[in-house]
Amino acid sequence: MDGRVSNVDYVIQQEYRAPTTPAPTRHTSAIAKPGVKPNLIVLSWITPVVLIVVWEALAQAGWLSPQVLPAPSKVLRTAWKLTLSGSLLNDLGVSLLRAAAGFAIGGSIGFILGTLVGFSRIAEALIDRSVQMIRAIPFLALVPLVIVWFGVGEGQKIFLVSLGVAFPIYINTTLGIRQIDPKLVELGRVQGLSTLQLIRRIILPGALPSILTGVRYSLATAWLALVVAETVGAQSGLGFLAMDAREFLRTDVIVLTIVIYALIGVAADSIARLLERKLLAWHPNYGKGARS
Amino acid sequence: MSPTSVTSSESAVTVSGLTRAYGPRVVIDRLDLRIGRGEFVALLGESGCGKTTLLRALAGLDPIQGGHIDAPGRPAVVFQEHRLLPWDTLWQNVSLGLPGADPRKRAAAALVEVGLGDRLDDWPRNLSGGQAQRVALARALVQEPRLLLLDEPFAALDALTRIRMHVLVKELVARHQPGVLLVTHDVDEAIALADRILVMRNGVIASEHRADTHGGPAASRDQLLRELGVATNLQVA
Ligand SMILES: Nc1ncnc2c1ncn2[C@@H]1O[C@H](COP(=O)(O)OP(=O)(O)O)[C@@H](O)[C@H]1O
Ligand SMILES: [Mg+2]
């Protein structure tokens, strides 16, 4: 089996890739007239709001057992209480730190290996097949093994997050460097750039759209890895909060952690998109003119 | 490259016995060529005869298999494609690799010269083909090269834009006085711009035409077309 060209790999690589053609679906529909847009935004919020109101009403009426699904207002009150007691912020902080550490470690490893493989056919021969073989493993299948190695301490969590982060960054860094127009590299030589200048002025900026796509995907995997790692065992963090609440059937706390996980996922994605808009202002798909 | 070659006074490049082969296939075969400072030389030749290969050798982009190229300083090159970096603004593009102080100011001056002085901070994607090629020209000239190599830089432009570019290039070359080697397949372009026209065939300069002392054209259109193997005795009604 060639680890590089299985169908699944191919599909995943396609997903990870930076868009090379403008992707209008990411923006407001081109058909929408400027004057109509704000109304559409209001419209798009109606369904979720109605759902929450219905949920609240059902819970208040006693149709929903609080142990199955507590009322949204109850979840909010719990959030407030846990915030006042400081435990929520504490656990949130612990989780974010773990995610950041795993992201830094996995991201660096993915970036360095991706850069090596992007530049050098020899590095590719040495590294790429092994990486692709490891990537073929659904990384959550490694959880039991990782627990044997690290126990359920910080090491296990940071390791899992790093693993989830490293692959998208690796693949997209390699791709980004490979996709650089050799004519531009040649131009760099004509203009007398040193190797360092060539990397700084041409290779990194050229690979950046792809690398940032990798960052966006890796943020999602980092978060998923963290949820799993904290759920299988932790003494602190959001996952611990949820598992601890489960023992006491505190569904409100569980729902709260789920909501927080979701909010942080959205926030991370927004930050990544903001980064793309700032750093890729030159790019027709990301720059100012590209979005309304 | 040695600084002493400045003594080969007023020479932008001197080539002797240049040989360039791709594997066993010899494309340039012991070619001699000298271009003076401020001299505008056009190189004609049918497609695939080795014009680009010669230009790339002069630019130091490819290894050569024999002979010498003596060019003081680094030549500047304008390619058929503009090759602007899409992630850099126009002034950043123009100052790419430019040594010395105040690159923005010097890039700005160069952009003014090509008529784009008001677009310093614009992105290349907002330019037309002709404008992009003008930026590429500014990027080449801002380095004050002794030798300017142009590889069919106007071939992809529409006829009107091409004529405007001819005027601009002639003006800029007169001001900066680099030696110019313009590769082209356009006989009229060569006649309009060059002090000297070279026709390349079988890996060497097969013939050479100088403009007369009154600055008249270097050669007649018919004559050049004949040398390029195009029959011109067809009378078009
Ligand atoms: N990288 C290459 N490898 C092998 N042959 C090449 C390469 N580049 C050009 N050639 C050959 O060298 C000859 C001259 O090419 P070129 O200099 O591009 O011609 P032109 O006069 O049209 O610019 C052509 O026959 C071409 O096929
Ligand atoms: Mg050519």
In ligand 1, which atom is closest to the CA atom of B46? Answer: 21
The C-alpha atoms of residue B162 and residue B130 are separated, in whole angstroms, by 8
- pLDDT for B71: 86
Average pLDDT score over residue span B3-11: 50
C-alpha A211 – ligand 1 centre gap (Å):
35
ipTM: 0.87
- pLDDT for A241: 86
Residue B218 pLDDT class (50, 70, 90 cuts): low
Closest-CA residue of A relative to B98 is A191
- pLDDT for A34: 56
CB-based burial label for B193 (10 Å; 0-12, 13-18, 19+):
buried
Measured between beta carbons, the chain A residues lying within 8 angstroms of B96 are 187-188, 191, 193, 201
Average pLDDT score over residue span B49-74: 92
Residue B213 pLDDT class (50, 70, 90 cuts): low
- B85 with A180: CB under 8 angstroms? no
- A45 with A35: CB under 8 angstroms? no
| In chain A, % of residues over pLDDT 90 | 46
Question: Per residue in A59-97, pLDDT tens?
Answer: 889 888 888 889 999 999 999 999 999 888 998 999 999
Above 80 in pLDDT, residue A7? no
Both structure tokens of B79: 């390619």
Residue B210 pLDDT class (50, 70, 90 cuts): confident
Closest-CA residue of B relative to A195 is B97
CB-based burial label for B166 (10 Å; 0-12, 13-18, 19+):
middle
- B17 with B66: CB under 8 angstroms? yes
Q: What are phi and psi of B197, to 5 degrees?
A: -115, 130
- pLDDT for A233: 77
Where along chain B do its domains lie?
Answer: 1-75+147-237, 84-144
Above 80 in pLDDT, residue B182? yes
Fill in the DSSP letter of residue A200.
I
Residue-by-residue DSSP string for A163-193: HHHHHHHHHHHHHHHHTS-HHHHHHHHHTT-
- Which residues, 6+ apart, have CB-to-CB distance to A88 below 8 Å? A79, A82, A241, A256
Please name the member of B61, B83, B123 whose beta carbon is closest to the beta carbon of A282: B123
The C-alpha atoms of residue A245 and residue A235 are separated, in whole angstroms, by 13
A50/B216: higher pLDDT = A50
Is the CB of B52 inside a 6 Å radius of any atom of ligand 1? yes
The CATH code belonging to domain A72-279 is 1.10.3720.10
Does domain B1-75+147-237 fall into CATH 3.40.640.10?
no
Question: Per residue in A19-48, pLDDT tens?
Answer: 454 444 444 445 555 555 668 888 888 999
Question: Per residue in B68-126, pLDDT tens?
Answer: 999 888 999 999 999 999 999 999 999 999 998 999 999 999 999 999 999 999 999 99
- pLDDT for A87: 85
The candidate with the shortest Cα–Cα distance to B197, out of B66, B48, B64, B42, is: B42
C-alpha B52 – ligand 1 centre gap (Å):
7
C-alpha B12 – ligand 2 centre gap (Å):
22
Measured between beta carbons, the chain B residues lying within 8 angstroms of A191 are 96-98, 139, 143
- pLDDT for B109: 96
Report CB contact under 8 Å: B77, A183: no
Mean pLDDT of chain A: 84
Rounded to two decimals, the pTM is 0.79
Report CB contact under 8 Å: B83, A192: no
B216/A21: higher pLDDT = B216
Min Cα–Cα distance to chain A from B205, Å: 25
Residue A18 pLDDT class (50, 70, 90 cuts): very low
Above 70 in pLDDT, residue B194? yes
The C-alpha atoms of residue A147 and residue B79 are separated, in whole angstroms, by 58
Is the CB of B51 inside a 6 Å radius of any atom of ligand 1? yes
Is the CB of B58 inside a 6 Å radius of any atom of ligand 1? no
Is the CB of B50 inside a 6 Å radius of any atom of ligand 1? yes
- B125 with A282: CB under 8 angstroms? yes
Average pLDDT score over residue span A195-211: 94
B171/B1: higher pLDDT = B171
- pLDDT for A33: 56
| Beta-sheet strand order (sheet of B11-22) | B25-36, B11-22, B66-70
C-alpha B83 – ligand 1 centre gap (Å):
20
C-alpha A142 – ligand 1 centre gap (Å):
53
Question: Per residue in A144-181, pLDDT tens?
Answer: 898 899 888 888 999 999 999 999 999 999 999 999 99
Element (H, E) at A4: none
The C-alpha atoms of residue A150 and residue A159 are separated, in whole angstroms, by 9
- pLDDT for B163: 92
- pLDDT for A8: 38
Min Cα–Cα distance to chain A from B83, Å: 6
B138/B224: higher pLDDT = B138
Is the CB of B45 inside a 6 Å radius of any atom of ligand 1? yes
Select the residue from B78, B83, B137 to test the A interface by mutation, using most A Cβ atoms within 10 A. Answer: B83
Above 50 in pLDDT, residue A291? no
Residue-by-residue DSSP string for B70-99: E-SSPPEEE-SS----TTS-HHHHHTTT--
Above 50 in pLDDT, residue A292? no
Min Cα–Cα distance to chain B from A184, Å: 6
Residue A106 pLDDT class (50, 70, 90 cuts): very high
| In chain B, % of residues over pLDDT 90 | 73
Q: Collect all residues from A whose CB is shorter than 8 A from any CB in B.
A: 183-184, 186-193, 197, 201-202, 205-206, 208, 280-284, 287
Please name the member of B61, B85, B124 whose beta carbon is closest to the beta carbon of A190: B61
